[in-house]
Amino acid sequence: MKKLLLLIAFQGVLIQVSSAQKTSIYHKGWIDFNKNGKMDVFEDPSQPIDKRVADLLSQMTVEEKTCQLATLYGYKRVLKEEMPAESWKNEVWKDGIANIDEELNNLASKTDMAPTQYSFPFSKHAMAINTIQKWFVEQTRMGIPVDFTNEGIHGLNHDRATPLPAPIGIGATWDKELVRLAGDVVGREARALGYTNVYTPILDPARDQRWGRTVETYGEDPYLIAELGKQMCLGVQEEGAASTLKHFAVYSVPKGGRDGADRTDPHVAPREMYELYLYPFRRVIQEAHAMGVMSSYNDWNGEPITGSYFFLTELLRQKFGFTGYVVSDSEAVEFLYSKHHVASSPEDAVRMAIEAGLNVRTNFTMPQTYIMPLRNLVKDGKVSMKTLDSRVADVLRVKFELGLFDEPYVKDPKAADKLVHNAEADSMSMKMNRESMVLLKNESNLLPIDKNKYKHILVAGPLAMETSYAISRYGPSHNPVTTVYDGIKNYVGNNATVSYAKGCDIVDATWPESEIIETPLTDKEQADINAAVEEAKKSDIVIVAVGEGAEQVGESLSRTGLNLPGRQLKLVQALQATGKPVVMVMINGQPLTINWENKYVPAILEAWFPSPQSGKVIAETLFGDNNPGGKLSITFPKTVGQIEMNFPFKPSSQAPQSGKNGWGHTSVDGSLYPFGYGLSYTTFDYSNLQVSPESEKGQADVEVTVDVTNTGTRKGDDVVELYLKQELSDVTVYDYDLRGFTRVNLAPGEKKTVHFTLHPDDLAILDKNMNWTVEPGKFKVMIGRSSEDLVLNKEFVVE
């Protein structure tokens, strides 16, 4: 006899329940997850979370516990069914699962295409997630809800969610308030769609500009990264989703900047590790209370992070106070055996990881490839029940904190259609795109372009009609892209004629070998450049879009050179030779060594990897509706021979531009563009720097104020940057550090007083005993337009 299916309402959600169940598990104010007909402590919302975790743990079998320590990658990546199937009762997750990653998000990626009918409309996805969650709540013995995870470093990694610029562009905004709003949007859209945990932000400092994942970072400076990462984390979590920080730790400086299968051997001294690479994680964990951390693939000092008790327990939990759960980067556990060779077998790698402090293993394999070896280890006594319980408790605690045991389902699936990528979110995204624009050069005020003066505009270059950069990995997909050409054409309308000439491809046929062995232009390449030149001759101004696409920079896409790839420099040179004014728009994910371009091209706009609205935002910026106010969050070297070249730096370690190189002139010194650099269509002046108190005992805050005035003729944004220099210390410290920044908008002639608060932590250094200490002595506060353009300074004393 067929079972009668009933529909019951639970907190606004329609849940299908079989009449074969004697009573519903859904009660007013609580859910009978273990289906025993009574309210257990773990099911009682009024009980403290620790008691609920302990009660649930006491009722779980080893099979159920081990299932809470593995990820199931979503549909098409590992999971074969879009919706729960009868076969699931024979799968390992019949006993539950920790999380399901990127489930039904319609991922668009060269390597991971995962089309699905359930990603859009957004309400359809929310209902689909409810259906899957319902299976775990109703069809597993203990009914433990799933934590649905997803990426989100530049907008939620979901079909048509609100896009953000690449993180390197977010870093260029230097706008804490805006990043907080962006976090709100990411968290709100996640929860509306059914995701409960977002893998964002990336807190890795990009100290080697060749590294492919530079595009995914906020920049090179640990303080800037900590401040922006803190806001992103707070924004996501105040919307009820967990923020999982990545990649812990010392991940972002592989030897020689080489990514891909290498991913190891960071040459980082202990002091540098704490001051640069751990600093953002410590701050965001302690100040924003991130609920998740992702452990990285790499080793440090010969010790693989994912198998390190020192990193995952002593540092993360005991010193930093982390209370969430640690998920491994994909295959990090397996690498303990297959790459690092510190584990004797795949099973031994599992043992090492769980004893180190790993909570949840993630990999592109079925979860039983981790769960079964773990069960064997427990059975054989090689992993204690105490260790197992501790790791499971961390996962359960996060699930309780997320409210999954009180409201496991998306309460109002239909609301997702109004909450995801709505007009308000799109406006925020546009603002972030505009604020990420950095003006690198503007000779003779060529920009903004007067559209009434230039009636024939050529838009040239391989990035003019490219779209791949706008939908790069770990962010939203399938949003329509406005190209640079279309953005400019739409902007000028009937005021000017806009023509197009590609000129060359992003790379030539022999690239990247052509970076070290130059080959002659082919007939077609010469013809394409000639065609662009002929168009330029007929035009009044040339806008050339150059840089990198999604296949030249990103994960596993590190570079050996940083010039414009392919024939792009030859195209720029040919266009410049026409004598027509040339504006260069750069679309790229990492600093490029554009020395010739900087010397000869009159105007250069850095757009990074902007969002799908890129063409519109770039046009607004070129023609003056958007006054660029972004600042570089990473140093542009003149040559890869200078790398590592970053801010902050130790005294005399980066040979200042005006100095000599040792006893002779044997190297090109100085940066092409320094950290914190960026021009504007207006000018700003600083005055009246005040520091209070001028003498204190190192345990109180120091208040700093400075007046900033727009002395130009246009409204614009300025980023006021505060740097701190310790005059004398017991150990060699960085020459000076960024310790404050504020983005302000000013009308012509307008003056604002900007306030900074220096906390004791901002003054602290690692002393000889590797303890964070505020040492007595003189400190100099410096206010600058960049790390190299410091215009005001004042001292205070710590007694």
E strands in 479-626: 497-501, 541-547, 582-587, 603-606
Report the candidate in 760, 797, 775, 780 with the shortest Cα–Cα distance to residue 689.
780
**Residue 87 neighbours by CB distance under 10 Å:** 9
Closest CA to 612 of 110, 155, 175: 155
Whether the Cβ atoms of residue 768 and residue 731 lie closer than 8 Å to each other: yes
Q: Name the one residue in this structure whose structure tokens are 């709540």.
A: 137
Element (H, E) at 752: strand 751-758
> Residue type for 588, please?
N
24: left (phi over 0), alpha (psi -120 to 50) or beta: beta
- Tokens 């960085």 appear where? 734
The answer to whether residues 570 and 529 touch, using CB atoms and an 8 Å cutoff, is yes
Q: Rounded to the nearest 5 degrees, what angle is found at the Cα of 351, between the Cα atoms of 380 and 141?
A: 70
Angle, vertex CA 431, rays to CA 687 and CA 450, nearest 5: 80
Question: Residue type at 708?
Answer: V
Burial status of residue 200 (CB atoms within 10 A of its CB: 0-12, 13-18, 19 or more): buried
User: How far is Cα 413 from Cα 402, in angstroms, rounded to an integer?
Assistant: 18
CA angle (147 as vertex; 146, 148 as ends), nearest 5: 105
Helix spans in 268-384 (H): 270-272, 279-288, 309, 332-338, 346-356, 368-379
**Tokens 């257990």, residue located:** 40
Backbone φ and ψ for 198, nearest 5 degrees, come out as -120, 130
Residue 328 identity: S
For residues 182 and 232, give the distance between their C-alpha atoms in angstroms, rounded to a whole number: 7
Cβ atoms of 143 and 136 closer than 8 Å: yes
Helices (H), 436-496: 484-492
Q: Give the 3-state secondary structure of residue 31.
A: strand
Tell me if the bond preceding 748 is cis, omega within 30° of 0: no
Residue reference for tokens 């859910």: 31
Cα separation, 232 vs 210, in Å, equals 26
Residue 249 · residue 296 · CB < 8 Å: yes
Q: Angle at the Cα of 231 (from 183 to 795), degrees rounded to 5?
A: 160
The whole-angstrom distance between residue 15's C-alpha and the CA centroid of its chain comes to 36
C-alpha distances (whole Å) from 347 to each of 353, 372, 643 are 10, 9, 40
Q: What are the tokens at 362?
A: 């993630």
Kindly write down the DSSP assignment for every residue of 625-687, as one continuous string. SS------SS-B-S-GGG-S--SS--TTTT--TTS-BTTB--S--S-SB-TT--B-SS-EEEE
Are the C-beta atoms of residues 791 and 741 closer than 8 Å to each other? no
* Geometric angle at alpha carbon 52, from 50 and 54, rounded to 5°: 70
Query: Other CB atoms closer than 10 Å to residue 554's CB: what's the count?
Result: 24
Which residues form the catalytic set?
329
Please tell me the distance from the alpha carbon of residue 510 to that of residue 506, in angstroms, as a whole number.
12
Eight-state DSSP code of residue 21: S
How far does CA 457 lie from the centroid of its chain? 36
